[in-house]
Chains A and B, each alone.
Chain A
């Protein structure tokens, strides 16, 4: 295969990837887009296999078979509620693969046509080390994010004194090591800088709390793209550069959207410690909530309220995902719809643990996407709604975000459920949400609390709807 033909095929494959992303602008074109993406990957792989320096196929095909089987198995057995963890885990693999490829390039540069060992040009070494560093940070960062999402590590932000100083110091050290490596091509320096990046990945994600996981997952998504980009620069491979840039841009935009939905700067999220210091002060200074006025309802009460409403807006949150309540919910929605009650869903951008998580869960339960609305589309309608039914969500409905400048969530756009005639809160307990703030809505006149597991409670409500 000539370089020109290969480049042309790589270009074709890049276009396929762009189409794949473009397809996601509507659910109608998305599936075709995904097939186009697969096609692009096939073209890229086959083109590379016909490269003159790819001589032994046994290992390669074996590797693809092993990896492909594992990947297929994971994809088929995945529960959609566990999607955020899985995404984090997958990002880590891209990161680790980038490190492997960078190391391999250093060991045997001739295979990649970038010079002989110990005579690799400075720029390639620089790109190689940057690619490896980003890959390594992506790897350990994603492993930490995975552990937090999976509940192996506590979702609480872990922070200690001098943390930012330490991270800044390590960051500078990393840059120094990269330059030293690029001038000397010493493989021990390469492993040192990669090791340091592994450490940095851990330290960067540990202090970030559970509520910020949507941002973290998006950020790591972005990093995995930049890592691929770095490798693309090292190998002067346009396909890797283009694809890496697409993925990097995509992750960056998602992080931006998530941050905006929480009214926080990306820097603020990265520096972490959300829900610790400010929070303790807030809860210490304010009078401890007595919960004296909290009205608790039974499933019968909830069923009665819902049946006699004309319009209902359901606000799902992470709690719905945890208890897998979406299918029971679908049953409830069907029953109410048969009674000509208007039912809609309102999704906050940061509901759940990854961007768009709630939409997927509702889609899984066969809820038509025409009934599912984003915050901007539906927020105005709460004032004309009879019942706002909040299932396993908390912070995204907390009016303190508007009224209390001392609250850590102040300024975050919220769903105005308080404006509905009646607010039903389905929660496991009075415990505050991830941000660690009490929700004054619980004590309002027009609020009724339903305590219990989301799925069981919704099932009870279904039984009580005649």
Chain B
């Protein structure tokens, strides 16, 4: 019995869902505290950059598009890769454009 108790709290004794849930809840907390620190003036860049990073869904798309033989699954993955890439490149570049404007101001001020 003591053995069982010991192992039952180890990560490898947990279902993948439980591990995912732990990660999820902690990440929500991190997000909550980090985002409240964002200055209101930068809320638009915040939205653009979160949009870009939510395209990390490309990870799933790459796996879907990975197999050698062509299937419906691969085609769907291919589409997802295109969609996510539009977002990644577009999102980060727009954020960059916005932030460079905020930067320029500071230089002219000094």
Contact = CB atoms under 8 A, between A and B. Distances in A.
Given A24-B49, A100-B79, A240-B56, A60 B62 contact: yes
Contact of A108 (B67, B87, B99): B67
B47 A221 contact: yes
B90 A20 contact: no
A97 B84 contact: yes
Contacts of A366: 101, 104-105, 108
A462 to B, nearest CB: 19
Contacts, number: 382
Interface in B14-42: 15-17, 19-20, 23-24, 27-28, 30-32, 34-42
A381 B32 CA distance: 32
A55 B54 contact: no
Interface residues of B, number: 84
Contacts of A372: 41
Given A54-B62, A72-B89, A76-B93, A374 B40 contact: yes
How many A residues are at the interface, by size bracket?
A: 35 or more
A22 B57 contact: no
Contact of B90 (A80, A90, A243): A90
B66 A63 contact: no
A31 B99 contact: yes
* Interface majority SS (helix, strand, loop, mixed), chain A: helix
B50 interface: yes
Interface in A61-106: 62-64, 66-72, 74-76, 78, 80, 83, 86-87, 90-91, 93-94, 96-98, 100-101, 103-105
Contacts of B87: 67, 71, 90, 93-94, 97
A280 interface: no
Interface in A233-268: 233, 235-251, 253-254, 257
A461 B67 CA distance: 64
A240 B53 contact: no
B40 A349 contact: yes
A349 B6 CA distance: 53
Given A93-B83, A224-B54, A27 B93 contact: no
Contacts of B106: 27-28, 368-369
Given A83-B44, A366-B108, A253 B32 contact: yes
B66 A101 contact: no
Interface string B86-110: 1111111111111111111110110
Contacts of B5: none
Interface string A20-61: 111011111011011001101100110011010111100110
Nearest to A87: B47
Nearest to B72: A107
A398 B94 CA distance: 33
A280 B31 CA distance: 41
A364 interface: yes
A356 B89 CA distance: 21
A17 interface: yes
B85 A68 contact: yes
Given A41-B88, A104-B76, A56 B68 contact: yes
Contacts of B34: 18, 21-22, 246
A63 B58 CA distance: 11
- Name the residue in A33, A90, A107 with the highest tally of chain B Cβ atoms < 10 Å from its Cβ: A90
Contacts of B72: 104, 107
Contacts of B52: 37, 41
B60 to A, nearest CB: 4
B86 A21 contact: no
Contacts of B96: 31, 34
A228 interface: yes
22 contacts: A14-B27, A17-B53, A20-B53, A37-B52, A41-B53, A56-B67, A62-B78, A63-B65, A63-B82, A71-B88, A72-B90, A72-B93, A86-B90, A97-B80, A103-B76, A105-B60, A107-B76, A111-B67, A217-B47, A238-B23, A242-B27, A355-B43
Given A34-B95, A90-B86, A356-B42, 11 more contacts: A27-B103, A48-B59, A55-B67, A87-B51, A93-B83, A100-B80, A104-B60, A233-B20, A247-B31, A254-B46, A347-B40
